[in-house]
Structure 1
Amino acid sequence: MTPAGVPLLSARGVRVAFPGRRGAPDARAVDGVDLDIGPGEIVALVGESGCGKTTLARALLGLVEPTAGQVSFDGRPLEYSGRALKAYRRRVQLVLQDPSGSLNPRHTVYDAVAEGLRIHRFDGDERATVAGALSRAGLRPPERFFLRHPHELSGGQRQRVVIAGALALEPELLVADEPVASLDASVRGEILALLLRLRDRLGLSALVVTHDLGLAWNIADRVAVMYLGRIVETGPVERVLTAPRHPYTRALLSVLPEATGDPVILTGEPPDPSRVPSGCRFHARCPVLAGGAADRAGVARACRERDPGMPDGSGAAQVACHWAHAREG
């Protein structure tokens, strides 16, 4: 059991770089991230495609060894030996976005849920454990689903089978990568409600990786907004999504269907992670800088030349933005 005040999962200074081709600079997919997830807490990791959020999630799962920095679980640094990782992955389970791709079409539902138990050489009652996992995932009566194959299920039922496979090992943390992206709108709410029930009933923690701030609003206790390999704003979900401080967070929120006012359209594409801009890495696309507000606040030069730093990973509301700090100072 995690001691009081100690995060269940903690990343400190985590960097993941991929070698460039033909002598090009390394691509800094994750570029110095601090992030904590507490027991029973749901954290949403939000950002555009290519911002590094999936690579960070893979590093937290032990699927990618960080180039630098450290991942700790339950107060202990993660080890990368085969035996240590196998034990770790029993406690931390991945839920992928595409249930059709995660499930072997030739396997029955029973075999899909039992697979992890067999890999970890579970010595208890396999049938009862599979039935319990399916029931907790909302597939009842579970025995009715044992001999079905994925093609016989709806998209929502397939995602529940994937979640049941993760639950069978009784993990302490779920890492859910776009868990409802491939589902119809009518089913998304059911899966999000299921994740919240699992947290309330089992005490599960979760990291939900998503591009959708609306999803974060519905499920997360805390949100971390990521841009070009770094977290640029973090804090309690109500604080960040009702009073965003970073221009990037504001732009993401402005295009939600329920947003008021005109959407903020960011110019250009996110920079190449092998050629990260100087200063604030968002400055080339920043509407605050382009519109003159940063200049009026006296921070335009700092935006272009000085790194604004990074949030420290705790639960406090923090932002990496010279303009936001100038406004609040």
Structure 2
Amino acid sequence: MNGRSGGTDAETPLLEARDLHVEFNARGRRARAVDGVNLAVGRREIVALVGESGCGKTTLARTLLGLERPTSGEVRYDGAPLNYSSRALKAYRREVQLVLQDPMGSLNPRHTVYEAVAEGPRIHGMADEHERVVSALSRAGLRPPERFLQSYPHELSGGQRQRVVIAGALALDPGVLIADEPVASLDASVRGEILALLLRLRDELGLSALVVTHDLGLAWNIADRVAVMYLGRIVEAGPVEQILTSPSHPYTQALLSVLPESPEPVVLGGEPPDPTRIPGGCRFHPRCQVLASGAAAEAGVDGRCRSQLLDILPAAPSSGEAHVACHYAEATTPARS
């Protein structure tokens, strides 16, 4: 792996979103899918982006990959703003690779493993194709790689297919993997192996990763930092141990409550996130269990919850700090805001 210093210092995030906004026209209404996000992935760091379906995390991931153009704000790689010219995007997509959740859908059933992994190096005109394919398969845990070269996807297990997808990314020597629900389609017995592989790639190759997931348990097992997204914004972010053992935002608390070891699940009321109908005040307040219970009123912040906008959270790459966008948390635990 190269160090990807790019002339920048080691504290510069490798991948960063700065005040990112992405809007779409949805049936004549404006959908604010990403509504002001600061997010940073440091070097040799795994960040988990967590939230329920519809929160905007997939749109954010696509924008970080250069597949969507932001309405405002910017994506930066190695300290430089993303250039959207065709040539620049091609070079960028060698550096930032996507790993999807459905390996069967990602792989052409008519292509052998060799052809699947060689596709990226061919597109980018890279030399030593055979050596790259064999090395990538080996690093992805398919050993001996020669055993798999002429296999077809239907001849492999689900875990092996996901390793082929990862090998296809590794063949390009990327700096960052963006993994969208990388183990969601796998059996429980295989999930741990793929997560261990991602950790090993971080440790041995210096890879960074953004893991997009709805599963806070997965975040606990793999991430250095976690960012919790709700209705287009990061509402809580920080070191994974701090956020997941002592969450400040009611939404994070609700997500954690569905884990098996939690004493009592929090059932959220109201409507699921709708990016065409973002409420005033705290965007979570129509479903907030703290507001519904009267605890926010006791803290004297219920009016603010319903009417006062919250600041966009900073990216805080590798700073060790946690941040939360919540009037109640600010009133009761000011050190966390």
> Which amino acid is the alignment partner of residue 73 of structure 2?
G
Report the CA distance between 1:196 and its aligned residue: 0.2
The alignment status of 1:132 with 2:138, answered yes or no, reads: no
Report the CA distance between 1:270 and its aligned residue: 2.0
Distance, in Å, in 2 between the alignment partners of 1:183 and 1:194 is 14
Report the CA distance between 1:309 and its aligned residue: 1.5
> Which amino acid is the alignment partner of residue 217 of structure 2?
G
Unaligned runs of 5+ in 1: none
Mapped contact 1:310–1:319 kept (Cα < 8 A): no
Give 1:175-194 correspondences, 5 Å limit: 175-194=178-197
Give the corresponding residue for 2:203: 200
From 287, 312, 329, the equivalent of 1:324 is 329
Unaligned runs of 5+ in 2: none
Report the CA distance between 1:310 and its aligned residue: 2.1
Mapped contact 2:230–2:273 kept (Cα < 8 A): no
Give the corresponding residue for 1:289: 291
**TM-score normalized with structure 1 length:** 0.98
Report the CA distance between 1:128 and its aligned residue: 1.0
Mapped contact 1:52–1:226 kept (Cα < 8 A): yes
Give the corresponding residue for 2:282: 280
Q: Following superposition, which runs of at least 4 residues in structure 1 exceed 3 angstroms of deviation? A: none
- 2:29 alignment partner, SS class: coil
The alignment status of 1:83 with 2:87, answered yes or no, reads: yes
The count of residues paired between Structure 1 and Structure 2 equals 325
Give the corresponding residue for 1:231: 234
Report the CA distance between 1:268 and its aligned residue: 2.4
Mapped contact 2:54–2:274 kept (Cα < 8 A): no
> Which amino acid is the alignment partner of residue 200 of structure 1?
D
> Which amino acid is the alignment partner of residue 17 of structure 2?
A
Mapped contact 2:37–2:233 kept (Cα < 8 A): yes
Mapped contact 1:25–1:275 kept (Cα < 8 A): no
- 2:47 alignment partner, SS class: strand
Distance, in Å, in 1 between the alignment partners of 2:282 and 2:97 is 34
Percentage of identical aligned residues = 72
> Which amino acid is the alignment partner of residue 10 of structure 2?
A
Report the CA distance between 1:326 and its aligned residue: 0.2
**TM-score normalized with structure 2 length:** 0.95
> Which amino acid is the alignment partner of residue 252 of structure 1?
L
Give 1:67-146 correspondences, 5 Å limit: 67-122=71-126, 124-146=127-149
Distance, in Å, in 1 between the alignment partners of 2:132 and 2:161 is 18
- Superposed CA deviations along residues 195-228 of structure 1, whole A, max 9, x for unmatched, are 0000000000000000000000000000000000
